[in-house]
């Protein structure tokens, strides 16, 4: 939450890049006049197909959930740039209407809320270093025969 909106967009582009999206360094990278995008890129889905991916990043407080009009605006930006996929990332949550809006239409928008964002940061170790490693010792249940 302490990142500026601009730095949060950079962070989200870096995360999506770790998820195998080739980020376009010219589309959706300006702070104003970006066409409603926080980033844009391309993902290769198989040996001969590449798809366009639009990214939206909203650094919002937990008491301000993303609602369906924000999803609709993002879908309009996706249309403008002919993106086949959309990824909407927020530090907050999504309302039920936003979830429904993300699933409507011909292109589903992937929603990443604050909790999922934390999971992905840990999974891809994006700008974090794991410090605690948990080990497990097997209980007798696993050592006994039948």
Tens digit of pLDDT for each residue in 48-66?
A: 999 999 999 999 998 999 9
d(CA 139, CA 146): 14
Token pair of 97 as six digits: 């209407």
Predicted confidence at residue 99, as pLDDT, reads: 98
**Of 49, 47, 69, 50, residue with least CA distance to 58:** 69
Residue 80 — very low, low, confident or very high, per pLDDT cuts 50/70/90?
very high
pTM, two decimals, is 0.85
């Amino acid at each position: 939450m302490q990142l500026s909106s601009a730095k949060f967009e950079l962070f989200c582009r870096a995360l999506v890049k770790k998820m195998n999206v080739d980020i376009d360094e010219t589309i959706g990278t300006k702070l104003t006049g970006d066409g409603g995008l926080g980033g844009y890129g391309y993902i290769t889905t198989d040996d001969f197909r590449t798809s366009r991916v639009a990214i939206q990043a909203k650094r919002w407080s937990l008491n301000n959930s993303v609602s369906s009009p924000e999803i609709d605006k993002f879908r309009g930006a996706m249309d403008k740039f002919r993106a086949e996929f959309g990824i909407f990332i927020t530090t907050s949550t999504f309302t039920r209407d936003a979830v429904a809006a993300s699933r409507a239409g011909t292109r589903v928008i992937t929603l990443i809320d604050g909790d999922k964002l934390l999971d992905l940061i840990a999974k891809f170790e994006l700008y974090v270093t794991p410090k605690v490693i948990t080990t497990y010792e097997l209980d007798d249940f696993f050592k006994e025969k039948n």
